[in-house]
Amino acid sequence: MPIRIASLNPQLHKNGARLHQIMASRLRLHGADHPPSEEEVTLREERQLLKLAKAERLAQAGAPKAKPVKVAKAAKAPKAAKAPKPPKAPKEAKQSKTAAGHKPSRAEKLTKKAENAEAAKKAAKKSAKT
């Protein structure tokens, strides 16, 4: 069995070159009427086998290739349901701005000043009457 190589083209080329040399020497020495030698017949048969092998490889390359079977994975057991988390404690109610000790706004200052002024007027009127 011949050694398998990736491409048969180099082997075909070498075989063809040797066959051509032998045929040319036969024609030069004996003429066209002389029958081919054993070596020439052997090279022709080898060339024919190489061409057949090349054609087989081309046909095999064009055929669909066998694909590996996908292995089905084993089904996993379902995970246990997690216990529900306890509800969070309610947040404390926010304090109103006046109770939080924030800096009063300009509008609040003006309303307070107006209230104080009115209260002073009323107080002054009451004391005058009495």
pLDDT digits (tens, 9 = 90+) for 30-60: 888 889 889 999 999 999 999 999 999 888 8
Question: How many domains is the chain partitioned into structurally?
Answer: 2
Tell whether the model's pLDDT for residue 103 goes beyond 90.
no
Give 24 or 3, the one with higher predicted confidence: 24
pTM greater than 0.95 (yes/no): no
Instruction: Give 100's Cβ-side CA count (13 Å radius).
Output: 8
Residue 21 inside a domain? The answer is yes
Residue 37 inside a domain? The answer is yes
Distance CA 52, CA 2 (A): 14
Q: Which domain holds residue 112?
A: 105-129
Contacts of residue 5, Cβ cutoff 8 Å, sequence gap at least 6: 11
Output the six-digit token pair for 3.
């050694």
Contact 24, 17 (CB under 8 A): no
Residue 109 inside a domain? The answer is yes
Instruction: Give 85's Cβ-side CA count (13 Å radius).
Output: 3
Residue 113 inside a domain? The answer is yes
Residue 36 inside a domain? The answer is yes
Contact 22, 37 (CB under 8 A): yes
Residue 76 inside a domain? The answer is no
Give 102 or 82, the one with higher predicted confidence: 82
Residue 72 inside a domain? The answer is no
Which of the listed residues 47, 62, 77 is the one where a domain comes to its end? Answer: 62
Distance CA 49, CA 42 (A): 11
Residue 114 inside a domain? The answer is yes
